[in-house]
Structure 1
Amino acid sequence: MTAKVFIDGAAGTTGIEIHERLAGRRDITLIAIADDRRKDPAARAEALNAADAVILCLPDDAAREAVSLIANDRTRVIDASTAHRTDPRWTYGFAEVAPGRRDELARATRVSNPGCYPTGFLALVAPLVRAGIVPPALPLSVNATSGYSGGGKAMIAEFEAPGADDAATGFRIYALALGHKHVPEMQAHAGLAHPPLFMPAVARSYRGMLVEVPLHLSLLNGTAGDIRAALADAYAGSRIVRLAGADPTLLTLEQCAGTDRLDLFVFANEALGQVRLVAALDNLGKGAGGAAVQNLNLVMGLEETEGLRL
């Protein structure tokens, strides 16, 4: 028997990515709504309740509305919005971030898909907090740059418009009010006492992402070797998250573009007592669509990496 899956918001950037990974799979049957009925509540409710699993690629309020339309206790929900990422009633859908999380996801009926930036940050920091290397009370900063597809259709149109000024859109920083919606997610799931100082940027590249956390060894409970060992142990055996080598000449924004992989790097200067932790991922892959497909596989009891680009 195949799993019936409905993507609510399939016309958006993330929805398209997910559809591409699911189309043609023999273990999945996609439920579709005609274009002229995509915003019809009755049509959406029918599809939501007919599905074994639903993936929501919607704004926060629309995602909450979609959940309210489900009138059964059978349909499993994977929400790619930020609406439920710190809600304790939902299982946080980052299988690798904590021991036992895969088992939790296999039992879950409500799963919150992680954000792209938090995925990189948490992959680097959560195991180190858990191992006692990074004190929970240590103030952290995180620098991150994403491809412009992370801004959705409006930003894609801006960057790809005929005659777009490359100089004006080559690289820009944002979230200068320091209240980005990803920060609570980072703090909560890393187990930090303080919100990290988040410094995101967007570059003139369609997809790809680098997330960096700088650390001073004097403020940690361990060495650079301890950091590498903790990360290697946390992701041992994973086909998706891997601790890569430390050759800086190989690291680019597009390091994992077009894949659903997550590569982690530890660059250290013991003499200076400084470390730069870097995560490379595709903002549309492990940062969005790939993560949703991985979570779908887990909640439906399917092969975890089926449909992923590794």
Structure 2
Amino acid sequence: MAHRVFIDGEAGTTGLQILERLQGREDIELVSIDHERRKDPVARGEAMAAAEIAILCLPDDAAREAVALAEGLGDDVSVRFIDASTAHRTAEGWVYGFPELAAGNRDAIAGARFVSNPGCYSTGAIAIVAPLVAAGLIAPDEALTINAVSGYTGGGKALIAEYEDGTAPPFFVYGLTQAHKHLPEITKKTGLSARPVFAPAVGNFAQGMAVQLPLHLRAGRDLAALRATLAAHYEGQQFIRVLPEGEPGARIDPTAMNGTNMLELSVHGDDRTGCATVVAVLDNLGKGASGAAVQNLNLMLGLDEAAGL
């Protein structure tokens, strides 16, 4: 029997990408409501009651309201949630949906009722920093700067429209007040005690993302140690790979993982200069959003983790 899944907010960028990955799967039955009733709480409640899992592709406040709506349907409704918004990423009672982050995460996701999908920038930053903190190569209170560039689809419909009608600049830096919505989750999920400085940017390409962590090298933290630590942490992972060596003069293409659920890590620099840059490349709509949601859905339903990916 197919598992019943409701995408609340399927008309948005993330929802459409999830829909595309789930349509045609024989093991998934999509629960839908009429487009004109997509904001009707009665219709949405009925859909949640009919589904095993609801995937929330909504603004933060609407995601919180959706969970409250389901909770008000009574004890007979046991729908589980994957929330793709920022609303619950650091909330108590929610499992963080990054299967590769630590031992036991897959089991925690598989058994959870409430799973919060990681953010796109957060996925790249946490993938780099968390293993290095756990291994003692980065101190929790170390002052870090994380730089990143994303395709414009990460900004939602308004920013997409700006680029499609030609009114947006070819590149811009933002988040300059250091209040970016991904910072709390990056700080908490990496094990950092000091909030990093985060410098995000948007480029004139639709999808793709590169996240960079510059580091000063020191005793015990050379290029080989950084690379070996990341490779050991992600050994055997299907959707995260660590390149064996950064190429001299390498040009990092933020679109290289587009259309996949892959995240690629690489370490660059020169021990003689005492400086390194660790880079994560991912599709902001793949492993950074919709692909991750489908990966978590598969785990929660006890299916092949790579199904639809």
> Same fold, TM exceeding 0.5?
yes
Matches of 1:62 and 1:210 in 2, distance apart? 29
1:150 lines up with 2:149 in the alignment: no
Match of 2:221, as an amino acid? G
Partner of 1:233: 232
Q: Partner amino acid for 2:59?
A: P
Cα distance in structure 2, aligned partners of 1:158 and 1:143: 23
Report what 2:50 is aligned to: 50
Instruction: Report whether the alignment pairs 1:224 with 2:223.
Output: yes
Give the Cα separation in 1 of the matches to 2:220 and 2:107. Answer: 30
> Size of the alignment, in residue pairs?
303
The code of the aligned residue for 2:18 comes to I
Give the aligned partner of residue 263 of structure 2: 262
Q: Deviations over 1:257-280 (max 9, x none)?
A: 121110001012100111100000
2:292 alignment counterpart: 291
2: CA distance between counterparts of 1:201 and 1:15?
A: 23
The whole-number CA distance in structure 2 between the counterparts of 1:291 and 1:14 is: 11
Alignment of 1:173 onto 2:173: yes
1:135 touches 1:221 (CA, 8 Å); kept in 2?
A: no
Choose from 61, 84, 103 the match for 1:99.
Answer: 103
CA distance in 2, matches of 1:141, 1:179: 14
Structure 1: stretches of 5+ with no match in the other structure:
none
- The alpha-carbon deviation at position 230 of structure 1 amounts to 1.1
Q: Is the 8 A contact 1:134 1:221 kept in 2?
A: no
Moved more, 72-81 or 136-145: 72-81
Compare 242-251 and 279-288 and name the one that shifted more: 242-251
8 A contact 1:136–1:191 mirrored in 2: yes
1:73-99 Cα offsets, whole Å, 9 max, x none, are 621100000000001310000001111
d(CA) in 1 for partners of 2:237, 2:272: 32
Alpha-carbon distance in structure 1 between the residues aligned to 2:226 and 2:282:
20
How do 1:179-258 residues align onto structure 2 when only pairs under 5 Å count?
A: 179-218=179-218, 221-244=220-243, 245-247=245-247, 248-249=249-250, 251-258=252-259
Aligned-residue Cα RMSD (Å) equals: 1.2
Contact 1:114/1:287 (<8 A) preserved: yes
1:228-287 CA deviation, whole Å, 9 max, x = no partner?
111111111111000024125352121111211100010121001111000000010000
Please state if 1:116 is matched with 2:120: yes
Work out whether residues 256 and 280 of structure 1, in 8 Å CA contact, stay in contact via their aligned partners in 2: yes
Q: Deviations over 1:181-201 (max 9, x none)?
A: 110000000010111100000
How far apart, CA to CA, are the structure 1 residues paired with 2:152 and 2:53? 29
Q: Distance in 2 between matches of 1:103 and 1:179?
A: 32
Shift of 1:170: 0.4
Which residue identity does 2:150 align to in structure 1?
S
Which residue identity lines up with residue 252 of structure 1 in the other structure? D
Identity %: 53
Q: TM-score, normalised by structure 1?
A: 0.95
Letter of the 1:153 partner, please give it.
K
Amino acid corresponding to residue 264 of structure 2 in structure 1: D
What do residues 90-117 of structure 1 show as CA deviations (whole Å, max 9, x unaligned)? 0000001111100111111100000000
Give the Cα separation in 2 of the matches to 1:291 and 1:250: 26
Distance 1:109 1:59, change over 3 A: same
Amino acid at match of 1:276: T
Displacement of 1:49 after TM fit? 1.5
What is the CA–CA distance in structure 1 between the aligned matches of 2:135 and 2:48, rounded to whole Å? 41
| SS of match in other structure, 1:135 | coil
State the one-letter code of the partner of 2:291. Answer: G
**Offset of residue 221 of structure 1:** 4.5
2:213 is paired with a residue whose SS is strand
Number of the residue aligned with 1:301: 302
Match for 2:64: what amino acid?
R
Give the corresponding residue for 1:13: 13
Q: Distance in 1 between matches of 2:250 and 2:197?
A: 27
Measured after TM superposition, the shift of residue 227 of structure 1 is: 1.1
Q: Please tell me whether the aligned partners of residues 146 and 209 of structure 1 are also in contact (alpha carbons under 8 angstroms).
A: yes
Measured in 2, the distance between the counterparts of 1:114 and 1:186 equals: 9
Contact kept? 1:54, 1:78, Cα under 8 Å: yes
Q: Output the amino acid matched with 2:162.
A: E
Which residues in structure 2 correspond to 1:16-35 (within 5 Å)?
16-35=16-35
CA distance in 2, matches of 1:122, 1:160: 31
